[in-house]
Structure 1
Amino acid sequence: MSAPPAPLRRPDRARRPTRRQPDTRAAWAMLAPNALLVAVFLLLPLGWAVVLSFQAKRPFGPGRFTGLDNLVRLVGDDVFWRAVLNTVVFTAVTVPLTVVLGLALALLLDKAMPGRTVARTIVYLPVVVSTVVVALVGLLLFDESIGIVNGVLADLGVGPVSWQSDGTLAMISVMVIVLWTRVGFALLVYLAALQDVDPDMLDAARVDGATPWVVARRMIVPTLRPTTFFLVVVNMIWSFQIFDIVYVMTNGGPGYSTTMLVTYAYDQGFGPARNFGYGATVGVVLFLLTLLVTLLQLAANRRGDRGEV
């Protein structure tokens, strides 16, 4: 009688050659420079700002631990709450307008038309120019005495507009310049996303008699939803961090009508007060607000993907 066959032996996984460890080391090697930059220029300053927010720190001498005194002062600071209101209003106006104008221009300039390349370049140009230069252009446009806008209005028989001495008009002038700098970026992102829209689907809808408005609203806009979500989140973060254009054009004035959270934190930390601890507290609160808004946007996007209301 023949002997029963020997049971099959499973190969030893420990001896099986694998590329997981070399791949992991290569990945960490490529991530290390960026991780180091993030740690040095983002995480370390953020941690130091949190430490400063619990101190009374001036330019000279060591800081003195004061616990929650800076936070208590912040809660009762009317200027801080005015800066919060200004930042919220600024964000609520600029973010939707940036997305809508960017999408409208992308739909227009995605078609074959005379001067399309020149129009794209003009709209995108402020994105590649320094924001300080753009702010100086805005100051030249809206200056009450020698501004181009008031000069054109004077030629039309309209009196000079108080762009810098009226709080509402000063905020509007800042919003206009910010929109000028951001619409180009939204245009570029939407133009890239439109290349992934199925042209056969659009052609079939047009053959069925759908108007351009119906095609855009029912087919193109839903397809571009991930792109829109990206632009909304990015522009909300940018709006919460707005500084240079406001600082150059209005310096937060007149009064505190254009003071934003970042400009207020800068004024407290590096202005005449030089209160690093209180300025850091404003910065930490700004970081937490930005993080909260971003997380809420992510949660809303996930619910939308699942079809929840």
Structure 2
Amino acid sequence: MSATALGATASQHRRQKDRRKLGENIAGWSFAGPATLVILGFSLIPMAWALALSFTDSDLMSPGRNVGLDNYRALLADPVFFQALRNTGLLLVLYIPSSLIAGLLVAVLLNRKVRGIGFYRTCFLVPYVVSATATGLLMGFVFDRDFGLVNGLLAKLGLPLQGLLSSPSQAMLVLTAIFFWTRFGFAVVIYLAAIQEISKEVLDAAAIDGAGAWARFRHIIVPSVRPMTIFLTVWGVIDALQFFDLVMTTTKGGPANATVTIVYYVWQLAFSFSTAGYGAAVAYALFAGTLVLIVAGLLLARRKGVTT
């Protein structure tokens, strides 16, 4: 075959390959395109609108006038905003470590071949999938100061009754405990999946070499699930910073703003106080803080050589 014929054949193959690739791209975008438009419509466009809103004094009923950076300057002198920051920070500090530690320990216990293990695993996941509204209403009854089950039990034991959700010093701690109970099941599932990926031969070899249960946990399991720990930390930070539903269904931010969180405060500003422009500024302050925390965590993980 001549060089000219070979060149024509190669050119024809390239054109056929390009047509197949174009057809695959068209088919792919025909499936992904609608979902992409939905994401753009319900995520990016509202974000851009909220950013523009944060520079106005709009009440959502009218466009409002442009106030520049006044809303952001007002944050620095807003005591309720700083109270919401403290409440949200307390939730983060208490929830993240406890959910990681408890999630890993429970996952290790559930990684056993015992009768009814599937039922036990389901029990830890159920609180995570139950409606937050239903959970909030139930826990509002359980921790009620006057008629709740907790104070009823304390009274039977002869112990002093507690304020619980009605106490400014206890309410946020109680909500954190409820939040932990409803969310740490997700960490259990993720850790359990990661542990089951660890080679049984490695664990058996360590046991033959004399490593006890604690040594195997510390030197094999913990390092093996470290990428999942980074993922769960990032996920937990996002989850905790968006804490809203339990506050809405139990304390409504009270007593005396003791349980106001950032997201609940944004909701109050926009829909209760008719200061949507200022609420948008608070929301973007939350967005900036969340972004900084996540980026810092990922950079720290990369510096330590951990990938997710």
- TM bucket (normalised to shorter chain) is over 0.9
Aligned to 1:70: 71
Aligned to 2:97: 96
Q: For 1:230-241, what aligned pairs fall within 5 Å after superposition?
A: 230-241=231-242
Aligned to 1:34: 35
Aligned to 1:224: 225
In the TM superposition, residue 167 of structure 1 has moved relative to its aligned partner by 2.1
Q: For 1:53-68, what aligned pairs fall within 5 Å after superposition?
A: 53-68=54-69
Aligned to 1:121: 122
Q: Distance in 2 between matches of 1:7 and 1:52?
A: 65
Aligned to 1:169: 170
In the TM superposition, residue 216 of structure 1 has moved relative to its aligned partner by 0.7
CA contact (8 A) 2:133 2:249 kept: yes
Aligned to 1:17: 17
Q: Does 1:281 align with 2:258?
A: no
Q: Distance in 1 between matches of 2:243 and 2:17?
A: 53
Q: For 1:150-165, what aligned pairs fall within 5 Å after superposition?
A: 150-165=151-166
Q: Distance in 1 between matches of 2:117 and 2:86?
A: 39
Q: Does 1:187 align with 2:188?
A: yes
* Partner SS state of residue 15, structure 1: helix
Q: Distance in 2 between matches of 1:40 and 1:230?
A: 27
| Counterpart amino acid of residue 66 in structure 1 | V
CA contact (8 A) 2:270 2:279 kept: yes
For 1:154-196, what per-residue CA distance to the aligned partner results, in whole angstroms no more than 9, with x for missing partners?
1111121110232231111101111111111111111112221
For 1:238-291, what per-residue CA distance to the aligned partner results, in whole angstroms no more than 9, with x for missing partners?
0000001112221112112211100111111111x2111011111111111111
Aligned to 1:138: 139
Aligned to 1:196: 197
In the TM superposition, residue 8 of structure 1 has moved relative to its aligned partner by 11
- Per mean C-alpha deviation after superposition, the further-off stretch among 19-28 and 274-283 is 19-28
Q: Distance in 2 between matches of 1:21 and 1:165?
A: 64
Aligned to 1:291: 291
Q: Distance in 2 between matches of 1:202 and 1:157?
A: 49
In the TM superposition, residue 24 of structure 1 has moved relative to its aligned partner by 2.1
Percent identical: 37
CA contact (8 A) 2:111 2:196 kept: no
For 1:107-136, what per-residue CA distance to the aligned partner results, in whole angstroms no more than 9, with x for missing partners?
001112344222222211111210111111
* Partner SS state of residue 296, structure 2: helix
Aligned to 1:249: 250
Q: Distance in 2 between matches of 1:282 and 1:255?
A: 20
| Counterpart amino acid of residue 256 in structure 1 | N
In the TM superposition, residue 63 of structure 1 has moved relative to its aligned partner by 1.6
| Counterpart amino acid of residue 220 in structure 1 | I
Q: Distance in 2 between matches of 1:167 and 1:292?
A: 30
Distance 1:306 1:137, change over 3 A: closer
CA contact (8 A) 2:227 2:306 kept: no
CA contact (8 A) 2:55 2:66 kept: yes
In the TM superposition, residue 89 of structure 1 has moved relative to its aligned partner by 1.6
Q: Distance in 1 between matches of 2:3 and 2:25?
A: 38
Q: Distance in 2 between matches of 1:149 and 1:244?
A: 22
| Counterpart amino acid of residue 32 in structure 2 | L
Q: Distance in 2 between matches of 1:109 and 1:212?
A: 15
TM-score by length of structure 1 reads: 0.92
In the TM superposition, residue 53 of structure 1 has moved relative to its aligned partner by 0.2
| Counterpart amino acid of residue 279 in structure 1 | G
Q: Distance in 1 between matches of 2:14 and 2:210?
A: 64
Count of residue correspondences:
302
Aligned to 1:110: 111
| Counterpart amino acid of residue 94 in structure 1 | Y
Q: Distance in 1 between matches of 2:239 and 2:58?
A: 28
- Per mean C-alpha deviation after superposition, the further-off stretch among 6-15 and 134-143 is 6-15
| Counterpart amino acid of residue 239 in structure 2 | W
* Structure 1: gaps spanning 5 or more residues: none
Q: Distance in 2 between matches of 1:247 and 1:306?
A: 37
CA contact (8 A) 2:58 2:276 kept: yes
In the TM superposition, residue 14 of structure 1 has moved relative to its aligned partner by 4.9
| Counterpart amino acid of residue 211 in structure 1 | G
| Counterpart amino acid of residue 289 in structure 1 | G
* Structure 2: gaps spanning 5 or more residues: none
Aligned to 2:87: 86
| Counterpart amino acid of residue 73 in structure 2 | V
